[in-house]
Structure 1
Amino acid sequence: RGFIPIILASVSGAIVSRAVFGHETAFDVPALNLTSLWEVPYIMLLGVVAGLVATGYIYLVKLLQRLGHLPLVLRWGGLTIATLAISWWLPEILGIGYDTVNDALNGKVVFTTLLLLLLAKMFLSGWAAAVSFPAGLIGPVLFIGAALGGLMGQLSVWLVPDYPLSIGFYTMLGMGAMMGAVLRAPLAALVALLELTANPNIIMPGMLSVVIASLVVSEVFRLPSVFQVQLGGNAQYQAPSPVRQMLRNTWVAQAMQTSVVEVQRKVGREAAGFILQRDPSWLLIAGEDTLIRPAAIAEALETDPDAETIDLFTIPADRQAAARISLKANLQDALDQMQSHQLQWLIVYRDERRHQFAGIVSREDIESYYQYRPAQGA
């Protein structure tokens, strides 16, 4: 239920983007290839360095969040003044920075400039993320990764001047490694690498650098993603438990009871006999949102054999109040509604306006469903 809408949105966005802007990519990516397996240790080093830089970036966001108590005009105004001052000397930090990234991919930015751009972009982007300035994260992180990869690429050329190394290759790996480590989204970073290069040969070195950078952040320094840092650990945004996730992805119909008969409040003796012959598990009193056991009707017929009609609200019975829920809801929706109304039962409708009754579901039905599923999967 969550994956399909994301795929449809991505495809729709790609179609509209290409229809409006054409098929040209955002970055001018040169031909990238792993020349030799001897580069693997250096790629691993790139992953470690990217992990350290990503760690510093996340710590910087946490540190600058102390400015959160200041008025908005000071938080955003100070960021604006700092951006103006730094961009006077380094105008490349302004905007998304596609031109600078393209130059870094082609090895056209000198080492010192790349280092200054990396530090400046880290500082300003971290400040913006800390004070909730609407500047985005993915673009700046890719910029920082490109600067880092460009630095590592130029350093490799200096270390091994006779070896045919590609600065653009390490620039692209730096972009993926930073994105995966800062956002804690390694799979998204690998997909981005593949989309940007249209070269499947980038996947193996990309996996190595992205995974190592992500492990440095998550396992060595035990840091969450920058998104969780921005949210301040708010429990409302914590990842759901496996059970909760499973309930969200399960339609209410899968735990619903259908052996239920909808009846009027007053039932004739003959109609009551037909109802009992169908052997339902529950009876739903129409328009009352109340459930009653069929055994109560059988007892009423035996107790008063001369009664022509039976009032289901006056006979002795165990009645259960219920609320309504749509057939399109999931099991977590059902549990939340039961909790909010302090109920054990819900009546499931295909269309509440037309009173198209589908079945009922109880808290016990839902608990039995998710307790049985792990055993079934095992």
Structure 2
Amino acid sequence: MARVFRSLLTLERFRRQLANVDALPQLCVLGLVSGVMTGALMVAFRFLLSLGATLYMPEGNPEAFEQLAPWGRALLPLIAVALIGLWLGRLSPSARKIGVAHVIERLSYHQGRFPRGNWFTQWWVGLVSVLGGLSAGREGPAIHLGAAAASGLGQYMRLPHNSLRVLVACGTAAGISASFNTPIAGVIFAMEVVMMEYTITGFMPVILASTVSGLIAQLVFGFERPFQVSDLALGAFANLPWIVISALGIGILAAGFLQLARLSERLAHFSLTVRCIAVGVLLGGTAWFYPQVQGMGYDTLGLTFGAHLAVDVLLAVAVGKLLLTAVTVACGIPVSIIGPILVAGGAAGALFGVLGAQLMPNASASPTIYAMLGMAAMMGAILQAPLAALMALLELTHTPNMMLPGMLSVVVACLTTRQLTGSKGFFNQARQGSRHPLQHPLMQALSRVSVPAVMERNLVRSQRTVTPAEARKLLTTNPVWLVIERAKDDKPPLALKGSALARWLLEHETPINEGHRGYQHVDLLEIPGQRLELAPINLQATLSEAFLALQNETLGALYVVHGYRHKQKRISGIITRGAVERYYRYTDHIPESRSPERGP
């Protein structure tokens, strides 16, 4: 029993340390644990993909659609959309949300807490969409499964919500790292697309999670170089104008993808059955002639880099796969888009490379170079994530000499798409009417710390009416606040400064001592002093949650509720508007790494 009690005290101390903005060692521990969890999950997911592929795919390869008979590969998407439609049809619209967009939404509006049902839906849809020949990748499932599992660990341990945000980023990076052996790209994607901020406190745990997860995947599968690309060089600077032109073209294709994907609201009035059938027919019909549009398509991307695909196949992948992916998303089938857009971008870049060789036969670089640049440009343009796209280019191809032309290509494509569509990225385009909460500097700062870091703990609870002796007893610990609990449950408690009660007792000391009838009881709602109406907030909440709650003009402060059983909840502290304002006004003027210790 004593050992259990000590472990509970240790966990409670761990939670209090995590509430502070500078809890870097504790967050690094969580990063390591979430990396191990996510790495194991990704190994299981990849194993299930391989297991499913052994049932009907040639050589058990989940991407060998080209080796299937035409009728077989055309029938697969119809079966896949039927299975997905049956699963989604019994769910509410909110329960159908999965993938990267769902991760960002939960992080933005739910402090990184994930519903369990959506997590299981991601397993089903992720496996069926890839094995069923839809134009889908495994990046979305990897990110959702990793982020939700890491966050679930924090929820199970009842950690402060500011640490849940970091855990979501850790799971995101670890999922990408374990799936594709791209640990740096995973870190950059997590910070640039999901967290949308760069801090030392956020970076270090995420790097650890990505590293550990990648190591676990390598222990199981060995080191897998994604694409075997020989050492290439751009050659003549005469290619730079053509690189800009190709990036413009890819930016236009990316803009078309985003505009088509935005049709989801217009197509929503059709039933889910009709939308699923439409996707199955379109994919099946295209796959009859061009199976390269199916699945993740990384085998197709490898052939593109090797210049082994005919022009008509490149065109089918560059345009057809891009359009089919957008139509699938617009019809409400939540597939991962990152893999397909990489493959389509590579094919589009290769087409520009082939055309450049015709226009500049003596100076044009290899189509392989344009394919690599096109892959990064398409990803950067659609996601509006240039750094993540450049890291993907580096880690997928292992060609660091492509970074300079890659930077030019990615920037031009991103600008083109942004100017044509006004999109701030595929995963954020649904929120274009208002600023994304994570992009607001104040909310970012307040989300990094939980309420225990700034709340006032020196308080006592009291009934409305007390005797003078009880009033003096309340003041023995010199409380800053008195929390006045009222008889009716529907009336919120009030907060009164302890100094107000002390002043009243001093002013009425004589009549109290003489036993005057009117001073036998003290009504804490009648003595002079400002009383603040209170509302509850959980001990795990961040200052951003407290800030939003205090926008209610009728509230003067929040009381922090501690405990996990309804009848055993206790008040741990009081947090006022002034406490929140003092925190962010003070931290605005000092570097994060030198923030003062704000112990619990």
TM-score by length of 1: 0.84
Q: Which amino acid aligns with 1:208?
A: L
Give the Å deviation of 1:201.
2.4
Contact 2:468 2:512 in 1 (8 A): no
1:124-172 Cα shifts (integer Å, max 9, x gaps): 1111111121332111111110111111222233333334723222211
Partner of 1:296: 501
* Percent identical: 30
1:336 to 1:118, Cα distance in 2 relative to 1, 3 A: same
Give the Å deviation of 1:108.
0.8
Q: Which of 233, 236, 261 is 2:459 aligned to? A: 261
> SS at the partner of 1:305?
helix
CA distance in 2, matches of 1:119, 1:50: 10
1:166 to 1:319, Cα distance in 2 relative to 1, 3 A: same
Q: Which amino acid aligns with 1:187?
A: L
Contact 1:262 1:286 in 2 (8 A): no
- The alignment status of 1:6 with 2:210, answered yes or no, reads no
Q: What count of residue pairs does the alignment treat as equivalent?
A: 374
1:352 to 1:324, Cα distance in 2 relative to 1, 3 A: farther
CA distance in 2, matches of 1:98, 1:339: 50
Instruction: Mark the runs of 5 or more structure 1 residues left unpaired by the alignment.
Output: none
Bigger Cα displacement from structure 2, 52-61 vs 289-298: 289-298
Contact 1:326 1:352 in 2 (8 A): no
Partner of 2:307: 107
Q: Which amino acid aligns with 1:261?
A: L
CA distance in 2, matches of 1:106, 1:74: 39
CA distance in 2, matches of 1:351, 1:92: 55
Q: Which amino acid aligns with 1:183?
A: L
> SS at the partner of 2:409?
helix
CA distance in 1, matches of 2:548, 2:447: 11
1:271-300 Cα shifts (integer Å, max 9, x gaps): 73893794x543335899542222233213
Bigger Cα displacement from structure 2, 320-329 vs 213-222: 320-329
Q: Which of 136, 143, 164 is 2:343 aligned to? A: 143
Q: Which amino acid aligns with 1:73?
A: T
Give the Å deviation of 1:256.
2.7
Q: Which of 148, 162, 169 is 2:369 aligned to? A: 169
- Alignment of structure 1 residues 85-164 onto 2, 5 Å: 85-163=285-363
Q: Which amino acid aligns with 1:19?
A: L
Give the Å deviation of 1:58.
1.5
> SS at the partner of 2:396?
helix
> SS at the partner of 1:69?
coil
Q: Which amino acid aligns with 1:204?
A: L
Partner of 2:483: 284
Contact 1:118 1:144 in 2 (8 A): yes
Q: Which amino acid aligns with 2:483?
A: L
Q: Which amino acid aligns with 1:333?
A: E
Instruction: Mark the runs of 5 or more structure 2 residues left unpaired by the alignment.
Output: 1-162, 175-209, 488-492, 592-600
Q: Which of 22, 25, 37 is 2:222 aligned to? A: 22
CA distance in 2, matches of 1:226, 1:327: 35
Contact 2:347 2:371 in 1 (8 A): yes
CA distance in 2, matches of 1:180, 1:21: 29
1:231-277 Cα shifts (integer Å, max 9, x gaps): 4757697655332333222332444335x332554465497389379
1:277 to 1:92, Cα distance in 2 relative to 1, 3 A: closer
Q: Which amino acid aligns with 2:501?
A: A
> SS at the partner of 2:262?
helix
Partner of 1:78: 278
Contact 1:30 1:106 in 2 (8 A): no
Contact 1:269 1:309 in 2 (8 A): no
> SS at the partner of 1:34?
coil
CA distance in 1, matches of 2:552, 2:474: 37
Give the Å deviation of 1:209.
1.0
Give the Å deviation of 1:309.
7.5
1:211 to 1:311, Cα distance in 2 relative to 1, 3 A: same
1:44-73 Cα shifts (integer Å, max 9, x gaps): 222212111111222222357533221111
- The alignment status of 1:225 with 2:399, answered yes or no, reads no
- The alignment status of 1:316 with 2:527, answered yes or no, reads yes
Q: Which of 403, 413, 424 is 1:213 aligned to? A: 413
1:267 to 1:345, Cα distance in 2 relative to 1, 3 A: farther
Q: Which amino acid aligns with 1:299?
A: W
Q: Which amino acid aligns with 2:445?
A: M
Larger Rg: 1
Partner of 1:242: 441
1:100-129 Cα shifts (integer Å, max 9, x gaps): 111100111122321132221122111111
Partner of 1:68: 268
CA distance in 1, matches of 2:264, 2:473: 74
Contact 1:30 1:168 in 2 (8 A): no
CA distance in 1, matches of 2:261, 2:570: 53
Contact 1:104 1:147 in 2 (8 A): yes
TM-score by length of 2: 0.55
CA distance in 1, matches of 2:523, 2:219: 64
CA distance in 2, matches of 1:85, 1:349: 58
Contact 1:190 1:207 in 2 (8 A): yes
1:116 to 1:64, Cα distance in 2 relative to 1, 3 A: farther
CA distance in 1, matches of 2:313, 2:248: 22
1:238 to 1:311, Cα distance in 2 relative to 1, 3 A: closer
Give the Å deviation of 1:310.
5.7
Q: Which amino acid aligns with 2:500?
A: A
> SS at the partner of 1:359?
strand
CA distance in 1, matches of 2:544, 2:367: 50
Contact 1:92 1:100 in 2 (8 A): yes
> SS at the partner of 1:283?
strand
Bigger Cα displacement from structure 2, 212-221 vs 103-112: 212-221
Q: Which amino acid aligns with 1:109?
A: L
Give the Å deviation of 1:195.
1.7
> SS at the partner of 1:33?
coil
- The alignment status of 1:361 with 2:599, answered yes or no, reads no
1:309-350 Cα shifts (integer Å, max 9, x gaps): 764546524433423434432112213444579522122356
Partner of 1:40: 240
CA distance in 2, matches of 1:123, 1:274: 70
Bigger Cα displacement from structure 2, 104-113 vs 8-17: 8-17
CA distance in 1, matches of 2:320, 2:431: 24
Give the Å deviation of 1:15.
3.7
Bigger Cα displacement from structure 2, 23-32 vs 50-59: 23-32
Contact 1:51 1:216 in 2 (8 A): yes
Q: Which of 537, 540, 545 is 1:333 aligned to? A: 545
